[in-house]
Amino acid sequence: MRRLLKGMPIGMFTTQTSGGASHSRPMLVHDLDESGWLWFLTDRDSRKACELSQNPHATIAFQSKKGDRYISVQGTAVVVRDAVKLQKLWKRSLRPWLPRGRRDSEIVLVAVRVVRVEYWLVPRSRLARVVGMAKAMMTGKRPEASKYGVLDLHPLLA
C-alpha cells in the first residue's frame, strides 16, 4: 500500500451524511503507519468529524500526478485526541489552517484503519496505450488499458 500511495499525499476523503448522501473533500495524509492506518488532521467540530461519529466508514480516492495510478482506500475511521501523535505529525506549514498551533484543543486526528485497497495501474507510455488499442481492434476484445488489483488488509473488520 505504501508503494501504491507514494507521491500521492492528498486524497478525496469521503464520508456519509446522516441522510445517506456522500460528502467528499480533499485532505492531506499526514502518516501511513506500519499497522496500515492513514492519519489526517482536522477540527473537532468539522463536518467530517461529525459525519464520522455517525458512520465511521470512509473512502479515500487518490490519483497520481501523471494519471498512471488510481487508488481507492476503504476503511473505518475514528476521531481521536492524541497529543503525542499530533506532536509527531505537526508541521509549521499547518498554521494557515490551524492558526492556534498544535496545542489547540480543537485539533483532532482522524485515523482510518484501512480494510481494502483497490488500484488501477495505467501504462505511462502513449505507445503502450496505442499498441493496446490496436491489439483490441484486431482481436475484437476490449483493450486492457490498466492493471486492476485489490489488497484486502483487514477483511474481518469490513
Residue range 26-74, pLDDT digits in tens: 999 999 998 889 999 999 999 999 999 999 999 999 999 988 899 999 9
pLDDT at 25 over 60: yes
pTM here is: 0.82
Q: How many structural domains is the chain composed of?
A: 1
CATH label of the domain that carries residue 111: 2.30.110.10
Q: Which pLDDT belongs to residue 156?
A: 54
Of all residues in the chain, the percent with pLDDT exceeding 90 is 59
| CB-count burial class (<10 Å; 0-12, 13-18, 19+) for 7 | exposed
* Lowest pLDDT segment from 59-63, 65-69, 97-101, 144-148: 144-148
Question: 110-126, pLDDT tens digit by residue?
Answer: 999 999 999 999 876 56
**Interval 73-89 mean pLDDT:** 94
DSSP string, 19-30: TS-EEEEEEE--
**Can you give the residue range of the structural domain that contains 56?**
2-157
Q: Contact, 24 vs 73, CB < 8 A? A: no
pLDDT at 157 over 60: no
